[in-house]
Amino acid sequence: DFGGQYNELIARRVRDIGVYSEVYAYDTPVSEYSEGTIGIILTGGPQSVYAQDALQIPDDVLNLGLPILGICYGMHALAQKLGGKVDKGMPEYGAPDVVPREHPLNKGIRDTTSMFMNHGDRVHEMPEGFVNIARTTNGPVAAMANDAKRIYAVQYHPEAAHSVLGMQLFRNFVYGICGAKGGYAPDNAIEEMVSRVQRES
């Protein structure tokens, strides 16, 4: 959680596709993550990564070796952390057209689709080992991927209602890349919370 307004909605979207998810503050020790964690989503946030007090991705998160998906600020934080460059680009707000390239994260997402944007920064230079997997008119790097490290990032917000096929992107990441089995239903929420409290007691 990097403080964005859609962070709880991201967790809800993952649960909506049948996989349990939890929200942690960005600096939560990885030792406190739930047993059996299979993937991490870095959320959006209101800051710029080059601000003096910008929130950073802890090394321990990257060292887990789990698949990671960065969304908006999460993408910027990944790019900067891994040696790329982020700068002030053409702000994009609303739902511009995204043109995806063939990649497992984009499976089932048609050639051009609308995705919700809400940013003023952009990835100007991808970190070494990453490839560009989507673009917009104003953003040549709208999504990037490093399959060897299983790290992925998108400039847009697939969790937003305005994002056509945003749920498909979550399915691609959660099931296709993280290997989730599914089977979670909202009715299991109380049982999950009781189990978590018991583990922490």
Q: Which residues are catalytic?
A: 72, 157, 159
The 3-state DSSP class for residue 175 equals helix
Other beta carbons within 10 Å of 135: 17
- 93 beta partners: 118
**Closest by alpha carbon to 169, among 65, 70, 77?**
70
Cβ-Cβ contacts under 8 Å for 49 (sequence gap 6 or more): 73, 76, 77, 79, 80, 86, 121
**What dihedral angle (degrees, nearest 10) is formed by the CA atoms of 56, 89, 70, 55?**
20
Q: How far apart are CA 31 and CA 27, in angstroms?
A: 11
Nearest to 20 by CA among 39, 3, 7: 39
Amino acid at 67: P
Which residues, including other chains, have CB under 8 Å from residue 143's CB and lie 6 or more apart? 75, 98, 100, 105, 106, 132, 133, 134, 152, 153, 154, 155, 156
